[in-house]
Amino acid sequence: MADSTSEKPLRLMAEAFKDLADTVNSGSAEVELAPFSRACSLVSPLFVCLGIAFKFAEMDYVAKVHDIAEASKSIVTLQAMLERDVRDNSVKKSGSHSRNLLRVKRGLDMVKLLFEQILVTEGDSLRDPASKAYAQVFAPHHGWAIRKAVAAGMYVIPTKGQLLRKLNEDESSARIQMQNFATACAPVVLYIDKLFLTRELGIDW
């Protein structure tokens, strides 16, 4: 693992998503799997920093990002990846690239919301920001057992101060990077939603 004392995971995440957002916002280029999966993998340290309670979330996220990185060896764009699954009638199949993409997108959306909530929440507890982000993004798709486990995990997530120390940030630098990530992540999430919606695949499964 990278040396967490010298690295700035938040800055790396924000910069990678700024590049993806630029591609999306240019409207002229398709998003490629290789830079996308690389950017997504830069979000994993954040899940690690959220501690043992989110070990399963981290493992699930890392495995799905890895699957997309593997796909990048033979498929160039997100669009082509979806089209291949549509052709093979495997979009919703367990473990399909497209299904994994939808889960990874939710992970990104949750981190975006988590940051937005942190930015508007006073105090040092992350429980409310994290609970709100989870409730909005994942809870509708999770059964009772996972929802209960996540709710229990909310009691042992680190405080904001602890999280920022692990991320090697102070309050003001973290605010900037969180805002930058949230801003850059938004068009990327919308782009992925559109990939599914324009093919009438839905995004609520």
Nearer to ligand 1PW, 26 or 144 (CB): 144
What's the rounded Cα separation, in Å, for the pair 14 and 159?
A: 21
Max intra-chain CA distance, the chain? 50
Say if residues 154 and 57 touch (Cβ distance below 8 Å): no
Q: Report the residue number, 47 or 191, with the smaller CB distance to ligand 1PW.
A: 47
Alpha-helical segments (H) within 121-170: 127-137, 144-153, 160-166
Q: Confirm or reject binding of residue 31 to ligand 1PW (CB under 6 A).
A: no
Nearer to ligand 1PW, 23 or 46 (CB): 46
Contacts of ligand 1PW in 94-133 (CB under 6 A): 94, 99, 103, 106, 110, 114, 130, 133
For the bound state, the minimum distance from the C-beta of residue 25 to ligand 1PW, rounded and expressed in Å, comes to 26
DSSP assignment string, 64-79: HHHHHHHHTTT--BHH
Residue choice 36, 54, 115, 181 for contact with ligand 1PW (CB under 6 A): 54
SS3 32: strand
Which of the ranges 20-28, 51-59, 73-81, 161-169 carries the binding residues for ligand 1PW, by CB under 6 A? 51-59
Measured CA to CA, the distance from residue 139 to residue 103 in angstroms comes to 13
- Nearer to ligand 1PW by C-beta: 24 or 126? 126
Distance in angstroms (rounded) separating the CA atoms of residues 177 and 10? 6
Positions 163 through 192 that interact with ligand 1PW (CB under 6 A)? none
What does the binding site for ligand 1PW look like in residue numbers (CB under 6 A)? 50, 54, 56-57, 60, 94, 99, 103, 106, 110, 114, 130, 133-134, 138, 141, 146, 150
